Structure 1
């Protein structure tokens, strides 16, 4: 059972350890506990920066909250230099860009980068990023089609998802074999792209569980399209390395409090009623549970099912939407581990958890390119001051996204945004000297947001480290793997856990990674390569047909 949630005890300068902490064992667990304690302390020290909303930059004078030496160093730094000095990994370029920065600012950057889980791919991939415009090498020939995924499995699937399902599918297959699993359950399966790859592409028995019945119907329709295309190819005598067995789709939501229940909660939307729970008792069958970007509490529910149900032999979880986590008893999804729950000051605000979902690598790319999109935060911050001046009760209201806001002048942007909060643009000074003065401070807004963004990986690391510690406290083998290319898929850390030794699986994944990145000759051949991981049972290896390829 998961430990009870504990109320946060904020502290202006929390210690690393205290009486509330559990005794720390030696070895890897001890190192993970120390990292969690260090992150909690660092986040507490910089909480005003982490919890600040950039739209309040002018309204709350956020720039004045920075140390004077930081203000002087950052006020006029061009965006490309800011990217190199602040957000990019340590190296000669970063050191040169920040050569005259105050030591406290350099220490802030070094600490944040040292404590965050590594998100970058292995070093040997950097040559591909340099040569192929930042995309994984599988997209060298076509930026919208993975050359390592069968054309029938690419239909309806965006490039980012193609990259994700192929790499996660290989992990699931390896883990399933190592744990002796008979069945895979994909929770939060959406339109079934991962389930389809696991079943048709890798020959695994799969049940897909999705709470939105409309998505379930779409997934079934896509399965039928694939089967029809497969039958046509076979009728022509073509050998296609796909299994003819698709996934089973179930509309429903797992009950995280009753993993052995025979019923699923009703789907949303959908009629009342339940279906057989694929995680319920299944005789001697062993289940692998997976979730690709399972939103909010769902990613935690997967781990709790794994811990509580002996039928679940392994789990892979790629999380997202941390701001949707339940942080209050009794349905507490953070913290999970006894260790993090015992750290004074461990609580994370909604703003901090929201920040953990930002794409740091993408923003660094905008800085490097000195993109016009950088002015969007400044526009919104100026708009916030106008809104509050007109009506002090309207603070931090949600303003629906203005398309291509950076391509507009500020008055044009404001005329679109103000009516969305019930204000008349004609009644407000949109081109006053005060507005122009704020707009001239765009670089300060960018620098402040970049500082806060540097803490985002620390928050994500703490949340995932808490889950890792929770599983280790229960005695399970587990690891966090940077599986996806972070520039392509920002939420790229997958948590894997088993009831058996995990070492051989991790070694095999390292080999898979090397094969993926060193197989450029396959992608230059002009033909699609066969699916990774070998042919499904009973199917020969063959070069796939290009029929059914979707166009990006």
Structure 2
């Protein structure tokens, strides 16, 4: 019979798990710390894919390699190794297996006993979160008020889980509590908690127009349902780790009565806000209305600020300029507030990921594997555009060159690039794509059809490689995300909050950022 790890054993196991992941991504850093737009100009396939994998791909062919990749990508919880697939590609198979295993290991009981918190909150570890509503009377809030389907799924599942936590940890103890939803946006989660489950909810946002929109939406729902809206309130305030949530909740005692506990929640808190909420929960305050429950789902890792980015790579993607054009790019200063890393363990190592890694962590390998479809034309066309832009910059006048280099800096440093060129369900050939891209970039570049055809013919050999490179690279997305999430979990353990867990709330095909950081104190 397996015994529960001690506090120290769990922390050490979590540190070891982070070390393993970090060592792994360092061994393949060149694959994720690059930009797909440079696939041709930077010769990414030859430079960054290990030689044994290149040889295996060349020998096996695109079709068989894709079959192998999609096989491992479709494994949901247990890796199934098919020798007929893996034997011809031992190096690639080892890489794919490692990527998937690091994702599954986030629920290893030695570091994150997810099943124990599920069992405690939901009574039955086999019960799905969204079905566990038997003991709480839901009010008549129709899902029609929640669009699109993704948001309905998230709100249904998370509100159910939070309501169960509230019932077990507060209501059943005779404690009157309130939910504080920070970064609540239009109030989808907050209104569901108030109107479905009768919980007191304070929705907080830093933007007054967002707060007003949440109030307006809630008022409309209440009118349709002939309900009173007193259980869901909104407030515009900038929250820091020093904010006393208890004092904010007290402002609504005239509506709610005396509240003695706070549950802090957030559905897809963006960038640094997720880290700030976790810090706020962990902060020790002398208050008569303490925060004792946390349920936070983060998102937008690409918008995280990092504490230890080296000066020369401050959130700047490297792109391949011709030699005579080097030295024109600029650095952007870091924000004072940083959201990664949080744990002392990674802070002592001054660990950093970089923007390319965080961008990748925000992508969904599950969706790509489920659809078995890669937008090869879009990737290929964008890579060809990069060759055209850099060739043009090398041969144009100083004035035009300066404008174009400034545009490239903006595209790479700030992350504002060409943007969406393809319209929904539309298919563009290379000539149409380049023409549209030049217009969006406000560049007076005219390429004859014959010249574009030559470009397409010249670079056509990159098409199959760019697809396989993209798929190999996206397998790292959940590995990098796991480092961010386990860092947050370790931070809470370091603060002495031992009842802290990562719980997979959502279906990752519907909502890729599916893990909630759940903690009790």
The answer to whether TM tops 0.5 is: yes
Aligned to 2:3: none
Q: How does 1:444-463 map to 2 (within 5 A)?
A: 444-463=465-484
Aligned-residue offset at 1:386: 1.0
In structure 2, runs of 5+ residues without a counterpart are 1-5, 108-113, 115-127, 132-137, 171-175, 309-335, 395-404, 412-416
CA contact 1:199–1:243 (8 Å) conserved in 2 = no
Q: 1:201–1:243: 8 Å Cα contact kept in structure 2?
A: no
Q: Among residues 401, 405, 408, which one is paired with 2:420 in the alignment?
A: 401
Aligned-residue Cα RMSD (Å) equals 3.3
Equivalent position of 1:300 in the other structure: 275
1:512 maps to none
Match of 2:377 among 375, 378, 382: 375
Query: What is the TM-score normalised by the length of structure 2?
Result: 0.74
Residue 374 to residue 434, structure 1, CA distance change in 2 (3 Å): closer
Given the alignment of the two structures, is residue 478 of structure 1 paired with residue 500 of structure 2, yes or no? yes
Residue 405 (structure 1) shift: 8.1
Task: Tell me whether 1:363 sits opposite 2:358 in the alignment.
Answer: no
Question: In the alignment, which residue of structure 1 is the partner of 2:446?
Answer: 426
Q: Does 1:70 align with 2:53?
A: yes
Structure number with higher relative contact order (C-alpha < 8 Å, ≥ 6 residues apart) = 1
Q: For the structure 1 residues 223 and 95, does the alpha-carbon distance in structure 2 shift closer, same or farther, using more than 3 Å as the test?
A: farther
Equivalent positions of 1:116-515 (< 5 A) are: 116-117=103-104, 152-180=142-170, 182-231=177-226, 245-259=230-244, 285-310=260-285, 311-328=290-307, 331-343=337-349, 346-367=351-372, 370=373, 373-392=375-394, 393=405, 395=408, 397=411, 398-402=417-421, 403-404=423-424, 407-427=427-447, 430-476=451-497, 477-499=499-521
Deviation, structure 1 residue 418: 1.7
The separation in 2 between residues aligned to 1:150 and 1:170, in whole angstroms, is: 14
How far 1:309 sits from its partner (Å)?
4.5
The structure with more helix, counted as a fraction of residues: 2
Cα distance change on mapping 1:462 and 1:484 into 2, 3 Å: same
> How far did residue 119 of structure 1 move?
8.5
CA distance in 2, matches of 1:216, 1:112: 40
CA distance in 2, matches of 1:100, 1:38: 27
- Check if 1:37 corresponds to 2:19: yes
Report the alpha carbon displacement of residue 425 of structure 1 after superposing the two structures with TM: 4.1
Pair 430,116 (structure 1): closer, same or farther in 2 beyond 3 Å: farther
- Aligned CA distance change for structure 1 residues 385 and 106 (closer, same or farther; 3 Å): same
Contact 2:141 2:192 in 1 (8 A): no
Secondary structure of the corresponding residue to residue 108 of structure 1: helix
SS of 2:15's partner is helix
Residue among 52, 55, 58 paired with 2:40: 58
Cα separation, 1, equivalents of 2:430 and 2:42: 20
Number of corresponding residues:
427
Q: Displacement of 1:419 after TM fit?
A: 2.2
Note the alpha carbon deviations across 1:65-97, whole angstroms, 9 max, x for none: 212321233354238515424533265576543
Aligned in 2, Cα 1:405/1:414: closer, same or farther, shift over 3 Å? farther
Q: Is the Cα–Cα contact under 8 Å of residues 66 and 468 in structure 2 kept in the other structure?
A: no
Offset at residue 430 of structure 1 (A):
5.0
C-alpha contact 1:149 1:166 (8 A) present in aligned 2: no
How far off is 1:206 after superposition? 0.4
Q: Show the counterpart of 2:70.
A: 84
TM-score, normalised on structure 1? 0.70
The offset of 1:382, in angstroms, is: 1.2
Alpha-carbon shift at residue 436 of structure 1 (Å): 2.0
Quick check: 1:179–1:313 contact (8 Å CA) kept in 2? no
Which secondary structure does the structure 1 equivalent of 2:142 belong to? Answer: helix
Cα gap change, 1:308/1:51 in structure 2, threshold over 3 Å: closer, same or farther?
same
Partner of 1:269: none
Encode CA deviations 1:320-374: one digit per residue, 9 max, x unaligned. 0112112127533211111122347x3111110111000111111332xx46x33
Partners of 1:376 and 1:405 within 8 A in 2? no
SS of residue matched to 1:383 = helix
Matches of 2:130 and 2:295, distance apart in 1: 23
Q: Pick closer, same or farther for the CA change 1:160–1:149 going to 2, 3 Å.
A: farther
Give the distance between the partners of 2:278 and 2:479, measured in 1 at CA.
Answer: 21
Distance 1:137 1:260 in 2: 27
